[in-house]
Structure 1
């Protein structure tokens, strides 16, 4: 079966990123290849993936505040399977991002956002607290899930339309297991996408400015999209050795 249609952004789109009004922690305003106000293109490709474990069915009340769990003390593992974080027939993403390293992965609202690798859920937000007149940064993500992979890397997805029932802080998940759905909550500029960030967990010195992303994810996304297994753990470790866990910008 063919691989999913995933398009890298042409250089012209980099101009859009520069010109787009990006607030601190904000995301791109247009999907790659789609002029503002136009319909989203579709593609006939089908996402092929092995059957994944079903997400736990137990559900609880909406969290009054983001729930979080302490990172596991288990030593990071190498050679883990990694998968592309959005499972959809038509997906596109920017190789760059406004203001700081991250990636916006564009797909229709409601498409599955999945665990990149085996790991433990670190933090979940089921309530959209973002307000344009409020502080820019802390609540920009809207509904979100942060996962600590068994490789020692944190993977963060935000702007979700829903978080999967039973996906709570401390829950174990497998690569490819659904964590939520693509949406446009928080500071998403009303565009359906997932803000995807890669960072160290920074135990006890964490903050949204680290969680949102510290590395450029595109080359890892390129690899996982091809079915390869490029691992970001070494780059994350090197970044943390150099920068530590910096305070808010």
Structure 2
């Protein structure tokens, strides 16, 4: 018998010498197996429910910030080269962003203005809490999260309840109204909107903003929607404050 060449493709010939071989097939996958596909890390529905392909890592110091699932753009709330802030805040979650008075305060993402205060009603001798913020703006982002900035010196013209704004649009100027203790800064809070049952104790902030601010400052679109929804599922809309600071 003469040698004969058979193959499993144009580049892999097999030499048959004396013993005939039965070649069953040359497939590299199991019969009936589907070809490998790449799936997105997660998906997002209009109701805000996520269906990740893998659980998100939490608490890992090496974990990279999760990308925005809504595709929204996020920007740092103060447009200035000279800013500073602490990762913590007294008595409740929030962040004081220190910058010179008069620096622009901008919308952190696309959304709609919820509330505006253009009058400083804070009285050091009066009740603490309701008017601590002085001049302030509250924005409901398209991610369903409320973003609150207070102690402004000026609220920009045209920034009124119901007005649509875009990420980076100027909302006002850094100031020291309310209980800012004569220190120029922006108080920044993140919370659920709690429509119809809201109070200043929720609006001032319920989740720590620092890790989102860190990401936005680096140009990373990290969104707080999942953390805010988790907080809301656990706490609802508390009817009374835990602290008046």
Question: Which aligned runs of 4 or more in structure 1 are off by greater than 6 angstroms?
Answer: none
Q: Structure 1, residues 56-110: CA drift from partner, whole Å, max 9, x if none?
A: xxxxxxxxxxxxxxxxxx8568221100000001000011000100000000000
Q: 2:196 aligns with which of 192, 200, 204?
A: 204
Query: Aligned ranges for residues 1-249 of structure 1 at < 5 Å?
Result: 78-249=70-241
In the alignment, the residues of structure 2 paired with residue 204 and residue 78 of structure 1 have an alpha-carbon distance, to the nearest angstrom, of: 26
User: What secondary structure sits across from 2:88 in the alignment?
Assistant: coil
Distance 2:230 2:149 in 1: 22
CA distance in 2, matches of 1:149, 1:211: 14
Taking the aligned partners of 1:95 and 1:180, their CA distance within structure 2 comes to 23
**TM-score w.r.t. length of structure 1:** 0.69
Gap regions ≥5 residues in structure 2: 1-45, 49-68
Count how many residue pairs are aligned between Structure 1 and Structure 2.
Answer: 176
| Residue deviations 1:134-157 (CA, integer Å, cap 9, x gap) | 010000000000000000000000
Structure of larger gyration radius: 2
Instruction: For residue 248 of structure 1, report the CA deviation from its aligned partner.
Output: 1.5
TM-score after normalising by structure 2: 0.71
- Over aligned residue pairs, what C-alpha RMSD do you find? 1.1
Aligned residue for 2:150, secondary structure, equals strand
Shift of 1:113: 0.3
Q: Where do 5+ consecutive residues of structure 1 fail to align?
A: 1-73
What does the per-residue CA deviation read over 1:39-62, in whole Å, with 9 as the maximum and x for residues that have no partner? xxxxxxxxxxxxxxxxxxxxxxxx
The SS at the match of 1:90 is coil
SS of the residue corresponding to residue 180 of structure 1 reads: strand
